[in-house]
Amino acid sequence: MTLANYIIALLEALRHCDPDAYGRVCHVVGQRSARIQLDDEVVIARMHLGALQVESGTDGGGDVSGEGRTTSATVLALLDGSLEVSEALLNDAISVQGELEQVNRMFQAIEILLDASPRCPELQALNRDFVEQKRDSSTAGNSLSFGYSNWYPFAVPRQERHLLARHDLLPRTAE
Amino acid sequence: MILSDTLRPPFLIDPTAHAYKDWFHLNFADAASDSIGLVNVSLHGSPWDDCSRAMGTVLLHNPESGWISHIEILSYLEANLGDSSIGLRDIGLAIEQRSGSIHASVAGSSSRFRARLLAEPVSLPLEIEQKMPLGSGWISWYLVPNMKVSGEWEIAGRRAVCTNLAGYHDHNWGRWHWGDDFGWEWGCFLANPLPPGNPSFVFARTCDRRHQRYGDAFLLADWGGTRKRFSADSVAIRLAGRFDGVVHRVHGALAALHQEMAQPDLPTGLTLVASRGTDRIEISFEARAAAQFITADPVLRGYGFIHELMGKYSCFGRLGGKVFETLGYAVFEYVV
């Protein structure tokens, strides 16, 4: 299944299982568009009058509201619990770009999808298909391992580091 | 002979069938590889609802490999359900009704832990049939505090034949929705199998989600032919410290959704003192690793967070007039 087909199938499954959640995705996304890259596949996804449109993004696709990029190996690691989202972002295994508002809305749409999935068998089936397909593919061996980040992504003053440490907000090291 | 360790599905006319939950659970520990693990197979939701799910969960920890986990979720139709068995594609658990023996299987080409285990009862079962309140519903309980586990497994590519592992089995069923205002604390302190004849202990108490209002505590000590059950007013529990290691969270999609639970407030240890008449028990437990298993209700929107704290315990005391001192592996469950 191509990335475009997978995104369309996810939203169709959501619309079928949980129309209210689908409505919330439409509301959150509005008329925005996103460039989404998984491995070498790039698509532009946008909502138009409550319907999802997905087209190839390899030709550029013009301006978009935000961009997200990751790999199948990262998604598999996230799904099996060997990688946390925070670590993936810090390690650049997930890259998200856009203005804060646009990024926030992208993540809200993903959260709505994740939240609906326990009550939506079709979404679970798509998840299982994705995992089986990617585990079998040569591009996303499940042997990739991700360590927990033990660095902070940019230099911070000592006072700020102390403040973050006091509130237990620094990235933690593995056991 | 054990006759009642079977799944307890609702009757067709049960108005609470949507809240049906049922699971078989096996804990085991191996001193040779310093491994502690569990296999759990569970049912969530009415048998007549397509959204209901059968779930298999495998967690294993040892210091060399860290956490290894495997989660499998299927519909009831896709799963192979028997009177006392739940079989998924990779994870299965079946109970022989005549002997009470348990066969557990973990497969899967991508799994770093594969196993075929046989757990045989060493102690008699204890059945708590009455419906104990849990959130908006209830829970019942059947347990075998001491089992001898053997079989073969492969951990991160390393194969081993195992004999004489410490084991524990329980079976819970009832009606509740994950996300209701409830929690529980439960611990199994496995009998050290070498040398044979050491005692095992099981502790449990339900509570609200914030662990501020507790139900009656329960402590069972099982030592050969001696079995002692301590009532709530004879048990004192103290949770200690704050676990500051990395918590392994599964499954990943729900972990991604619940970033607010990435660093949960968990104890790192536990002391438990119970005394009744001339019997006295003092248990100290220290967690070495923690995992968070996120359960989602397939019917109503709601989530439960089952934390498995694995480590070692030491215990001493007097039971039935005999003094004892022991140590072994333990699992402490902290549910919010």
Domain CATH number, residue B80: 2.40.370.10
- How do B322-335 and B183-189 pair as beta strands? antiparallel
Please give the pLDDT value at position A167. Answer: 82
Q: How far apart are CA B55 and CA B44, in angstroms?
A: 8
Q: Which chain A residues in 128-167 lie under 8 Å from chain B, judged by CB atoms?
A: 135, 142, 148
Residue A14 has pLDDT above 90, yes or no: yes
**In a domain? residue A163:** no
Distances in whole angstroms, Cα of residue B334 to Cα of each of A27, B59, B299: 38, 15, 24
- Give the residue among B124, B81, B76, B82 at the shortest CA–CA distance from B100: B124
Residues A83-100: what's their mean pLDDT?
Answer: 92
* Mutation site for B-interface testing, chosen from A87, A115, A130, A166 by largest number of B Cβ within 10 Å: A115
The number of folded domains in chain A is 1
- State whether residue B301 sits within 8 Å of chain A by CB: yes
Here the tokens at position B160 are 């081993």
**In a domain? residue B136:** yes
Please give the pLDDT value at position A175. Answer: 44
**In a domain? residue B2:** no
The values of phi and psi at residue B115, to 5°, are: -160, 150
A3: confidence class by pLDDT, cuts 50, 70, 90: very high
Q: Which chain B residues in 98-137 lie under 8 Å from chain A, judged by CB atoms?
A: 110
Q: Which of chain B's residues have a Cβ under 8 Å away from the Cβ of A121?
A: 50-51, 75
Residue with tokens 């923690």: B290
**Domain interval for residue B118:** 18-335
Q: Which chain B residues in 223-252 lie under 8 Å from chain A, judged by CB atoms?
A: 244-246, 248-252
Q: How far apart are CA A97 and CA B316, in angstroms?
A: 58
Domain CATH number, residue A119: 3.30.1050.10
Q: Shortest Cα distance from B192 to chain A (angstroms)?
A: 26
Residue A59 has pLDDT above 70, yes or no: no
Tens place of pLDDT per residue across chain B (336 aa): 445 799 999 999 999 999 999 999 999 999 999 999 999 999 999 999 999 999 999 999 999 999 999 999 999 999 999 999 999 999 999 999 999 999 999 998 778 999 999 999 999 999 987 899 999 899 999 999 999 999 999 999 999 999 999 999 999 999 999 999 999 999 999 999 988 899 999 999 999 999 999 999 999 999 988 899 998 899 999 999 999 999 999 989 999 999 999 999 999 999 999 999 999 999 999 999 999 999 999 999 999 999 999 999 999 999 999 999 999 999 999 999
A60: confidence class by pLDDT, cuts 50, 70, 90: low
**Domain interval for residue A39:** 3-145
- Partners of B326 in the β-ladder: B315
- State whether residue B297 sits within 8 Å of chain A by CB: yes
* Mutation site for B-interface testing, chosen from A20, A80, A106 by largest number of B Cβ within 10 Å: A80
Interchain proximity B249–A114, CB inside 8 Å = no
Please give the pLDDT value at position A136. Answer: 79
Q: Which of chain A's residues have a Cβ under 8 Å away from the Cβ of B298?
A: 118-119
The number of folded domains in chain B is 1
Task: Please write the tens of the pLDDT for every residue from A25-34.
Answer: 999 999 999 9
Task: For chain A, give the percent of residues with pLDDT over 70.
Answer: 84
Per DSSP, B214 falls in state B
Q: How far apart are CA A44 and CA A7, in angstroms?
A: 10
Interchain proximity A124–B51, CB inside 8 Å = no
**In a domain? residue B6:** no
By Cβ distance, the residue of A81, A121, A124 closest to B248 is A81
Residue of B nearest to A77 (CA): B252
**In a domain? residue B138:** yes
| 3-class SS string, chain A | CCHHHHHHHHHHHHHHHCHHHHHHHHHHHCCCEEEEEECCEEEEEEEECCEEEEEECCCCCCCCCEEEEECHHHHHHHHCCCCCHHHHHHCCCCEEEECHHHHHHHHHHHHHHHHHHHHCHHHHHHHHHHHHHHHHCCCCCCCCCCCCCCCCCCCCCHHHHHHHHHCCCCCCCCC
Q: How far apart are CA B41 and CA B312, in angstroms?
A: 25
Please give the pLDDT value at position A48. Answer: 83
Q: Which chain B residues in 33-72 lie under 8 Å from chain A, judged by CB atoms?
A: 50-51, 53, 66, 69, 71
- How do B102-106 and B113-121 pair as beta strands? antiparallel
By Cβ distance, the residue of A86, A119, A174 closest to B262 is A86
Tell me the whole-structure pTM to 2 decimals: 0.91
Residue of B nearest to A172 (CA): B246
Question: What ipTM does this complex have?
Answer: 0.88
Q: Shortest Cα distance from B254 to chain A (angstroms)?
A: 7
**In a domain? residue B3:** no
**In a domain? residue A122:** yes
**In a domain? residue A172:** no
Please give the pLDDT value at position B128. Answer: 86
Q: Which of chain A's residues have a Cβ under 8 Å away from the Cβ of B256?
A: 78, 84-85, 114
Higher pLDDT, A159 or B299: B299
Residue A172 has pLDDT above 70, yes or no: no
Per DSSP, B157 falls in state T
Please give the pLDDT value at position A152. Answer: 55
What residue type is assigned to position A153 of the chain?
P
What residue type is assigned to position B290 of the chain?
A
Q: Which of chain B's residues have a Cβ under 8 Å away from the Cβ of A14?
A: none
- State whether residue B263 sits within 8 Å of chain A by CB: yes
Rounded to 5 degrees, what angle do the CA atoms A38, A42, A45 make? 105
Distances in whole angstroms, Cα of residue A166 to Cα of each of A151, A158, A161, A170, B245: 17, 12, 8, 9, 16
Q: Which of chain B's residues have a Cβ under 8 Å away from the Cβ of A83?
A: 252
Please give the pLDDT value at position A56. Answer: 83
